[in-house]
Structure 1
C-alpha cells in the first residue's frame, strides 16, 4: 500500500508542478504580448498583472518542487513502529499517510487522508505507536496499525 501511496503523491505533485509551469509560461507570454496602446496606463497595468500572475505561479511551482524533494526522501521499504514521515497509519478514525498535504483520496477501495506531519492531526500522530490513544476535535481514537 505504501509504495502505491508514494507513487500517487509523486504523480500528483508532478502534475501540480506542470500545471504551475504552464500557467507561469502563459502569464509571461501574456505580459510580453501586451501591445502598447495609446492608453499607456492600461498597457502598464496589464503587463504588471501578467508579471504578478507569473510570480504567483512561480512560487507555487517552487513550493511543489520542495514538496516533491521531501517525498523523494520517503523510504517505502521501512515498516515504521512509530508515526513518522512516510508512515501509513490505520486508526479508529480512518487511514492516514504522513507525507505532504493532499487531502482525502480513494486508493484500492480505501479512503485515505494524505496529510503533512505539520497538520494538526499529523502532529498528533508523530511518535505514536500501535495501541496508543489520541484525541482529535474532542473525539478519542486509537492507532490500530502502522506500516
Structure 2
C-alpha cells in the first residue's frame, strides 16, 4: 500500500498528463486552423470563401478559449504541494468519503491509483466548493446525498 504522499504524487502526475495531452491536441488544432486560414483561396463564389474564413475564425477563437482554460489549469497545478498533507481540505487534498474519493486539483475526471478510484475535481466545482475547508468527520450533503468525510491527506 502506498503512503498518502505517494498517492498524491501519482494523482498529481495523472492530472498533469491529462492537461499536457489536452494541450497538445488544442495546439495541433490551432496550427491546423491557422494553416487552413492561410491556404483558403478565393473561389469564384466569393460568399462561400468569406463563409469559410468566418467559420475558421470562429474555430480559432474557440480554440483560443480552450488554450486559455488549459493555461489556468496548469497554473492551478503549479500551486499544488505534493509533499504536504493538510487537516482542512484545500487545493491538493485527497479526500476519502463514504460516497467517493476526490483529489482537489483540476477537473480531470476519473483517476486511479492502486485500483482505488479518485475523481480529479476543481475547487471551483459545486462539490469542490462544498468540500473546501472541511475536516475528517464532517458531513456533507450534495445532490440530496449525505456523506461523511473519512480521511483527508
TM-score range (shorter-chain normalised) is: over 0.9
> What's the offset of the Cα at 1:109?
0.9
RMSD: 1.0
**Other-structure match for 1:76:** 82
Give the gaps of 5 or more residues in structure 2: 1-6
Residue 125 of structure 2 corresponds to residue 145 of structure 1 = no
> What's the offset of the Cα at 1:138?
1.5
Residue 58 of structure 2 corresponds to residue 52 of structure 1 = yes
Q: What is the rounded CA distance, in whole Å, between the counterparts of 2:114 and 2:54 in structure 1? A: 46
The question of whether the paired residues in 2 share the 8 Å contact of 1:32 and 1:47 is answered with no
TM-score (norm 2): 0.92
TM-score (norm 1): 0.95
Secondary structure of the residue aligned to 1:54 is: helix
Q: 2:95 aligns with which of 81, 86, 89?
A: 89
The question of whether the paired residues in 1 share the 8 Å contact of 2:42 and 2:49 is answered with yes
**Per-residue Cα deviation, 1:107-141 (whole angstroms, up to 9, x for no partner):** 32111111111111111110110111111112211
Secondary structure of the residue aligned to 1:105 is: strand
Residue 31 of structure 2 corresponds to residue 12 of structure 1 = no
Q: 2:71 aligns with which of 65, 77, 84?
A: 65
**Other-structure match for 1:26:** 32
